[in-house]
């Protein structure tokens, strides 16, 4: 018995170590992408203007940016240091995860398998390495879930839970969905505690109200949410299945729409095993220990209610709010639910087979990931191009997309002799609607093509090919300019170009 307990403890320690290692591995393999650039840019604003800048973005509360500002004030804006910010919160999430497993009284096999799911989650690994708020949300939400479990079973820590939930909703608006899920759980299972939960809810509303008023006043001068989330589609069957795969995918994550949505060879078998295990477990649910049934129901509500609310809201609101990253906090309770179901199968041969097959899939998924070299992304072109532009005198780089303009500006932001301008209205050049120059930011001048009159400048743009008969090259040639030899950056079937342009003599 003692040996078995020691083995269980060793397995948990090893998985915790693997959890940290997986998130540190390839931490700086890729450059910052658009959303991360916005994070660092917002955090670089003076304390006096950071709230106003973030408020104009409309879709996120300010706490993440304030914390990131503190972080960059200490260590700067280098790639390794800013990526350590989400990594640090991901690592800190192990603290509430440990205490959650303890206070749920999970048996060792249940805890081990749940931690294995969480440690190997491709989605969690991705956001542990991305300079956005989702790693912070995951960490704080785990504290919230753990403290709620203590309140649910022991009636303790309601004031600490209230404080943690205040931090959560000030980090991401979807934190409110976890609060709603906790309210639903109390109404469904322990109505005697509803008064305390309503007091908590009232405090959270009072804490959050000033920010909502501030954002509302700011939004009067903006174009509204369409620019931020108008591109998100309402979830259908495909999106629902993709979301499910994101929840269970080991190690893999897609970075853009050119990547495969999943490594189906691993996720499909895992999904089938989980589905079959859940059916078998629920068929025998009446015979399960009462505490385990209570854990199962409670965690199912905490994970399922936010997903249901987000799904329905995406259909009835003017704009869809659907997205895996927004619901990242459901992964831990779902992992525990899955582990409870698998380990609760009474037939030992079925239970052992399910654990063995899932473990094999996770191991092979890791091998596939480890043997695949890091990808090069097209958005890394602009940083590389910036290094090739001399700034011995005033230089202008013209771009033709908000995405390219903003990324290029960020790459040259500390070189005052280089200015970036965005040219509008060139026929045949389409923009990605998901990206735009931040509101309230004037360092990038937006001009019409007719305003290009200088004798020498650079252009930076992306295309499927170099073709002087297509815009923007054709337009410049027709205006009497000659093109230099392009610097070419290739990634994922797309090309980026940096070209020196001069007026013909």
149 in the same domain as 214: yes
Which pLDDT value is given to residue 199?
98
Q: What is the mean pLDDT of residues 123-150?
A: 98
Distance in angstroms (rounded) separating the CA atoms of residues 69 and 92? 19
Q: Nearest Cα to 498, choosing from 375, 376, 377, 387?
A: 387
Q: What is the mean pLDDT of residues 232-247?
A: 94
Domain boundary among 347, 370, 393: 370
Distance in angstroms (rounded) separating the CA atoms of residues 240 and 71? 36
| Contact (CB, 8 A) for 137 and 174 | yes
Q: Is 88 exposed, middle or buried (0-12, 13-18, 19+ CB in 10 A)?
A: middle
| Contact (CB, 8 A) for 491 and 378 | yes
Which residue matches tokens 């109200």?
Answer: 209
354 in the same domain as 327: yes
393 in the same domain as 335: no
343: CB partners within 8 A, 6+ apart: 107, 109, 110, 113, 351, 355
Instruction: Give the model's confidence band at 221: pLDDT under 50 very low, under 70 low, under 90 confident, else very high.
Output: low
Strands 481-483 and 456-463 turn out to be unpaired
424 in the same domain as 313: no
Bond from prior residue into 90 cis (ω within 30 degrees of 0) = no
323: CB partners within 8 A, 6+ apart: 232
How many domains does the chain fold into? Answer: 2
User: What phi-psi label fits residue 470: left (phi over 0), alpha (psi between -120 and 50 degrees) or beta?
Assistant: beta
Distance in angstroms (rounded) separating the CA atoms of residues 121 and 333? 13
Alpha carbons within 13 A on the beta-carbon side of 495: 11
Q: Does pLDDT of 222 surpass 70?
A: no
Distance in angstroms (rounded) separating the CA atoms of residues 229 and 433? 9
Distance in angstroms (rounded) separating the CA atoms of residues 121 and 127? 10
Domain boundary among 334, 349, 370: 370
| Contact (CB, 8 A) for 135 and 86 | yes
251 in the same domain as 221: yes
Distance in angstroms (rounded) separating the CA atoms of residues 215 and 491? 38
293 in the same domain as 144: yes
Average pLDDT over the chain, rounded to an integer: 95
Q: Nearest Cα to 113, choosing from 287, 266, 301, 341?
A: 341
In degrees and rounded to multiples of 5, residue 228 shows phi and psi of -80, -50
Domain boundary among 341, 370, 399: 370
Q: What is the mean pLDDT of residues 334-356?
A: 97
450 in the same domain as 336: no
Task: Tally Cβ neighbours within 10 Å of residue 308.
Answer: 14
Distance in angstroms (rounded) separating the CA atoms of residues 315 and 311? 7
Q: For the chain, what is the largest distance between any 2 Cα atoms, rounded to a whole number of angstroms? A: 89
166 in the same domain as 281: yes
392 in the same domain as 366: no
Q: In this predicted model, what pLDDT tens digit does every residue of 447-493 receive, in sequence order?
A: 999 999 999 999 999 999 999 999 999 999 999 999 999 999 999 88
Q: What is the mean pLDDT of residues 269-275?
A: 97
Q: In this predicted model, what pLDDT tens digit does every residue of 144-187 receive, in sequence order?
A: 999 999 999 999 999 999 999 999 999 999 999 999 999 999 99
- What is the extent of the structural domain holding 453? 378-503
429 in the same domain as 357: no
CATH code at 404? 3.40.50
Please tell me the pTM assigned to this model.
Answer: 0.96
Task: Tally Cβ neighbours within 10 Å of residue 39.
Answer: 23
Q: In this predicted model, what pLDDT tens digit does every residue of 86-121 receive, in sequence order?
A: 999 999 999 999 999 999 999 999 999 999 999 999
In a 3-state reduction of DSSP, which class is residue 333?
helix
382 in the same domain as 366: no
The four Cα atoms 338, 341, 347, 349 give a dihedral, to 10 degrees, of 10
Which pLDDT value is given to residue 415?
95
144 in the same domain as 28: yes
In a 3-state reduction of DSSP, which class is residue 487?
strand
């Amino acid at each position: 018995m003692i040996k078995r307990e020691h083995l269980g403890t060793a397995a948990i320690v090893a998985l915790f170590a693997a959890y940290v290692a997986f998130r540190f591995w390839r931490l700086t393999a890729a450059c910052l992408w658009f959303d991360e650039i916005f994070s660092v840019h917002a955090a670089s604003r003076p304390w006096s203007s950071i709230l106003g800048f973030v408020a104009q973005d409309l879709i996120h509360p300010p706490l993440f940016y304030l914390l990131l500002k503190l972080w960059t004030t200490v260590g700067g804006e280098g790639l390794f240091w800013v990526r350590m910010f989400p990594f640090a919160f991901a690592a800190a999430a192990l603290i509430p995860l440990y205490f959650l497993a303890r206070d749920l009284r999970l048996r060792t096999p249940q805890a081990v398998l749940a931690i294995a799911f969480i440690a190997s989650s491709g989605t969690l690994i991705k956001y542990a390495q991305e300079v956005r708020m989702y790693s912070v949300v995951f960490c704080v939400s785990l504290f919230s879930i753990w403290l709620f479990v203590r309140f649910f079973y022991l009636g303790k820590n309601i004031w600490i839970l209230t404080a943690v939930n205040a931090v959560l909703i000030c980090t991401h608006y979807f934190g409110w969905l976890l609060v709603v899920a906790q309210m639903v759980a109390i109404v469904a299972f322990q109505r005697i505690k509803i008064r305390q939960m309503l007091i908590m809810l009232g405090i959270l509303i009072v804490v959050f109200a000033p920010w909502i008023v501030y954002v509302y006043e700011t939004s009067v001068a903006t174009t509204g949410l369409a620019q931020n989330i108008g591109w998100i589609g309402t979830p259908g069957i495909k999106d629902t299945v993709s979301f499910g795969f994101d929840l269970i995918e080991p190690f893999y994550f897609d970075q853009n729409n050119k990547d495969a949505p999943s490594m189906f060879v691993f996720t499909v078998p895992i999904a089938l095993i989980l589905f079959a295990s859940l059916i078998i477990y629920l068929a025998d649910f009446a015979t399960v220990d009462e505490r385990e049934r209570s854990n199962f129901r409670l965690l199912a509500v905490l994970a399922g209610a936010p997903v249901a609310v987000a799904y329905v809201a995406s259909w009835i609101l003017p704009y869809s709010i659907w997205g895996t990253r927004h619901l990242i906090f459901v992964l831990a309770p779902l992992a525990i639910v899955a582990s409870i179901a698998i380990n609760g199968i009474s037939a030992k041969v079925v239970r052992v087979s399910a654990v063995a097959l899932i473990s094999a899939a996770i191991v092979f998924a890791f091998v596939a990931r480890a043997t695949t070299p890091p990808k090069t992304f097209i958005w890394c072109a602009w940083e590389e191009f910036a290094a090739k532009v001399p700034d011995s005198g005033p230089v202008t780089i013209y771009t033709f997309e908000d995405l390219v303009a903003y990324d290029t500006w960020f790459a040259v932001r500390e070189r005052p002799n280089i200015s970036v301008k965005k040219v509008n209205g060139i026929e045949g050049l389409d923009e990605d609607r998901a990206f735009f120059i931040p509101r309230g930011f004037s360092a990038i001048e937006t001009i019409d093509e007719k305003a290009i009159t200088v004798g020498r400048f650079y252009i930076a743009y992306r295309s499927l090919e170099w073709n002087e008969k297509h815009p923007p090259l054709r337009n410049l040639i027709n205006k009497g300019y000659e093109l230099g030899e392009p610097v070419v950056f290739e990634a994922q079937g797309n090309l980026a170009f940096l070209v020196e342009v001069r007026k013909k003599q």
